Amino acid sequence: MRNPWVELSKSNDNPNLVLSDEKEIIRKFNERNRLINSKSDFDYKIHTDIMPAPFMGDVHNSPIVLLTLNPGWDPKEEEVGFYKKYNPYWEQMIKHQFPIPELPLFCLDNEYAEKSPYWAMKLRPLISKTSKELVAKNISVIQYFPYQSRKYKPLYKDLSIDKLRSQEYNFDLVRKAIDREAIIVILRSKNIWFDAIKELNPEFEGYYKNVRFTNSVLNPILSEKNLNGAFDEIVELLNK
């Protein structure tokens, strides 16, 4: 499947960083949340003035792929200029280019992690058993929904019955990870991932055997306790 984000990287519509065929859907979604109340607007507003973050890392080759829900917008990160600084990084990433070549999973860069520590914290147990470089080269992240908001809310069905083109591209990346027999770890929202890709569901007859889960979805840290036996499996693979 052709990467739809190449189109966005060539767009001059900088205040509205949304794929052309998804702009009206996202606009109506935001407008409806604004009309509901200010809390809905704050929590679920999709921030179209910052680059989407649909995936990160070497998603075409990594032997370990983490699946999560959506990239979370953080007002504190906004205050310190995080999004403005890293928009160019994400512009490269959506074209599958690495802004920090030695760290394809560039969220582990020290300066990045100081402003946005989420992934550095979640991956710390694996880093302590291997190295930051090994984790960054061998683990990638794919989001179910690519656009940034403080909290996730499904699109209203009257706005979009089917998945967005941007989502379908991410699902295609997951299917390619299955084809290369990568370990896939679902961190959050496993049921909606099952709906998108039936092979991830243990109840499906053709279930993909290399799917792993965290015990906690509220704190999906990749630790020995939270991953059970899969932790040692991943550490061994990283150290190969």
pLDDT in tens, 10-51: 766 567 899 999 999 999 999 999 999 999 999 999 999 999
Q: Does residue 162 register a pLDDT over 80?
A: yes
Q: Does residue 145 register a pLDDT over 80?
A: yes
Burial (CB < 10 A; 0-12, 13-18, 19+), residue 28, is middle
- Classified as helix, coil or strand, 23 is helix
Q: Can you tell me the mean pLDDT for 148-165?
A: 93
pLDDT in tens, 192-221: 999 999 999 999 999 999 999 999 988 999
Q: Return the domain boundaries, the chain.
A: 50-238
pTM (predicted TM-score): 0.96
Position 115 scores a pLDDT of 92
230: confidence class by pLDDT, cuts 50, 70, 90:
very high
Nearest-angstrom CA–CA distance, 50 and 14: 9
Q: Does residue 160 register a pLDDT over 90?
A: no
Q: The tokens of 168 are what?
A: 């379908």
pLDDT in tens, 62-111: 999 999 999 999 999 999 999 999 999 999 999 999 999 999 999 999 99
Nearest-angstrom CA–CA distance, 240 and 227: 19
End-to-end CA distance of the chain: 31
Position 47 scores a pLDDT of 97
150: confidence class by pLDDT, cuts 50, 70, 90:
very high
Nearest-angstrom CA–CA distance, 228 and 215: 8
Give me the count of residues in the chain. Answer: 240
Nearest-angstrom CA–CA distance, 87 and 108: 16
Domain topology for 50-238: Uracil-DNA Glycosylase, subunit E (3.40.470)
Alpha-carbon dihedral sign for residues 224, 230, 234, 240 = positive
Strands, E assignment, the chain = 55-56, 64-68, 139-143, 183-186, 211-213
